[in-house]
Amino acid sequence: MDLSKISGLGFVGLGAMGLPMAGHLAAKLPENVRIFVYDINQASMDQLHQDYPKRITKCSGAKEVADKSEVILTMLPEGKHVRLVYMEGGSDTICSSDVSGKLLVDCSTIDTASSLAVKDYINEKFPTTSFYDAPVSGGVVGAQKGTIAFFLGCDGNDKNLPHVTRLLQLMGKEVIPCGGPSKGLAAKLSNNYLSGIIAIAVSEAMDMGMRSGLDPRVLHKVYGAGTAQNTICDRFCPVPGVYPEAPSSRGYTNGFKVQLMRKDFGLALDMAKRVGAKNVLGEAGYATYDGASNDPRCKDLDSRVVFRYLGGNEDWQKDADEATASKLT
């Protein structure tokens, strides 16, 4: 599918991620390409239409989007929504339109089984249609800035790779072909399992160091210079006030919601089970994110709020200042 020749692009799912991603397409696609959008939430369609009135057409459902577009992107919460929008939603699905020869890309983070079920259904009904999983990493801020990474479920020799890469790079930076169908998702889930485990480990290590009298800024330097160096501590430090741009330093807002981490962590554990991989840290990790998701002090906040959930001292700076003041008096 040569993207320079398309006249209609569809986008279903204009949430926290989908809305800014569709906004980048509206700002950057060649002028002749019209964008057809659908979301069950009318307000997000209205917002995009208001921002790009000449470019965006609001549709009444997934079928209308598919009828009018040669390339269709979806960005939905979970596997059940993706199955619904592509094939299980009765007469209003992407596959209730004739999508022969079209290019379909699902950017949602879902279970690999749902993604493969959708792909099999499409392959059977429309043998000339291409469907790819392309989950993203980089969060809402990355989607707004256009810096997200895509993990693409295809191999490096896929005939559509150059076109799909060019399309995805309008919304992000790096596009990594991961080897074949559903492997973009497998890569994303194993990445989030790892980053979720690291966030818990950093929180615990910081907490024990701080309780032993260490300044968290010193610990941050120590880990950075030593064998514990990792991006979560460097740039997403769970302890507030250590790294100014980390979500923790602005009240754990504007980050990757703890409930989303619980979802991805659970999906990763299901995948591990299915493929027979051992996870000694899995159960404890899931229980931590589940507990934090249900804790009113942590719910809806950035997942690195596990530091708070595990009882870390967020007021360390104030306590240190008070200790210094009392020594001086």
Which residue carries 């492997």 as its tokens? 183
x-or-dash string of contact with ligand NAD, 56-85, rule CB under 6 A: -------------------xxx---x--xx
Task: Output the DSSP codes for 244-281.
Answer: TTSGGGGTT-SS-BHHHHHHHHHHHHHHHHHHT---TT
Q: Does 113 bind ligand NAD (CB under 6 A)?
A: no
Q: Applying CB under 6 A, which part among 38-46, 157-165, 272-280, 284-292 lies near ligand NAD?
A: 38-46
Q: For 54, which DSSP code?
A: T
Binding flag, residue 26, ligand NAD (CB under 6 A)? no
The region that residue 327 occupies, defined by phi over 0 for left and psi between -120 and 50 for alpha, beta otherwise, is alpha
User: Under a CB-based contact definition with an 8 Å cutoff, are residues 249 and 277 in contact?
Assistant: no
Site string for ligand NAD, 40-59 (x = CB under 6 A): xx--x---------------
Sequence length of the chain is 329
Which of 22, 134, 260, 268 contacts ligand NAD by CB under 6 A?
A: 260
The catalytic residue among 68, 102, 183, 188 is 188
CA proximity to 105, closest of 38, 154, 172, 37: 154
Q: Is the Cβ–Cβ distance between 56 and 27 less than 8 Å? A: no
Task: Using the minimum distance from each CB to ligand NAD, give the nearer residue, 102 or 188.
Answer: 188
**194 lies in the binding site for ligand NAD (CB under 6 A):** no
Check if 188 is active-site.
yes
Residue number with CB closer to ligand NAD (39 or 70): 39
Is there binding between residue 254 and ligand NAD (CB under 6 A)? no
Nearer to ligand NAD, 149 or 206 (CB): 149
Segment interacting with ligand NAD, rule: CB under 6 A, options 10-18, 112-120, 245-253, 282-290: 10-18
Looking at residue 100, its amino acid is S
Interface with ligand NAD (CB under 6 A), residue from 8, 10, 18, 172:
18
3-state secondary structure string across 185-251: HHHHHHHHHHHHHHHHHHHHHHHHHHHCCCCHHHHHHHHHHCCCCCHHHHHCCCCCCCCCCCHHHHC
* Residues binding ligand NAD: number (CB under 6 A): 26
Binding site for ligand NAD (CB under 6 A): 12-18, 38-41, 44, 75-77, 81, 84-85, 108-109, 136-137, 139-140, 256, 260
Tell me which residues are annotated as active site. Answer: 188
